[in-house]
Structure 1
Amino acid sequence: MKLKKHRRLTLKERVIIQTLLIEKKSKSYIAKKLKRAPSTITREVNKWVQKKEDNYDAELAHWCVKEDYLNKRNLDKISTYSLLKFFVYRGLLS
């Protein structure tokens, strides 16, 4: 039995989601088309569509997710926590 690796939605998949949402297809239908879990599609759409009059924008969503991922990787703990920075620098100077 081969386990599936968790993978992020691609821009192509997001464009398909956007297109099918414009065509008024259900989230479960979209999930079947993309061979993804319905919860994945629901979370994706709910994250980017807050009000009923809003539309899902695939390129904007992909850009934001990509930026969040890159920024998340660039945050180091020593810059984030000032007490940790103080403790480490004090230890290095001793």
Structure 2
Amino acid sequence: MVRKKNNRLTLKERIQIETLLKENKSKSYIAKTLNRSRSTITREVNKWVQTEKDKYSTELANWNAKDDYLNKRNTDKISIHKKLRV
């Protein structure tokens, strides 16, 4: 498997995940289709689908991923880690 340069899932990939999940395709099949690791797909789907009633939503997943990324970039390590505050 060729390693992708960009580790984050794109909106296009998330749309494909949602479409293939609606077609009842396995996570392994989705990973092969997207040329991604099976664990990447599993983590993404399990993050948003907690129960049988939940459905994977591309818009929600993409918006939250962008929000998490932006918030992660704005936190400083000094306020997070006790050893650095001393």
Q: TM-score, normalised by structure 1?
A: 0.77
Which residue of structure 2 aligns with residue 48 of structure 1?
A: 48
Q: Helix, strand or coil for the counterpart of 2:44?
A: helix
Q: Any gaps of 5 or more consecutive residues in structure 2?
A: none
Matched to 1:45, the amino acid is V
Moved over 3 A (4+): 2-6, 77-83
Q: Helix, strand or coil for the counterpart of 1:5?
A: coil
Q: TM-score, normalised by structure 2?
A: 0.84
Determine the C-alpha separation between the residues in 2 that align with 1:16 and 1:3. Answer: 19
Equivalent residues, number? 84
Which residue of structure 2 aligns with residue 20 of structure 1?
A: 20
Higher alpha-carbon Rg: 1
Determine the C-alpha separation between the residues in 2 that align with 1:19 and 1:4. Answer: 21
Q: Any gaps of 5 or more consecutive residues in structure 1?
A: 88-94
Percent sequence identity over aligned pairs = 65
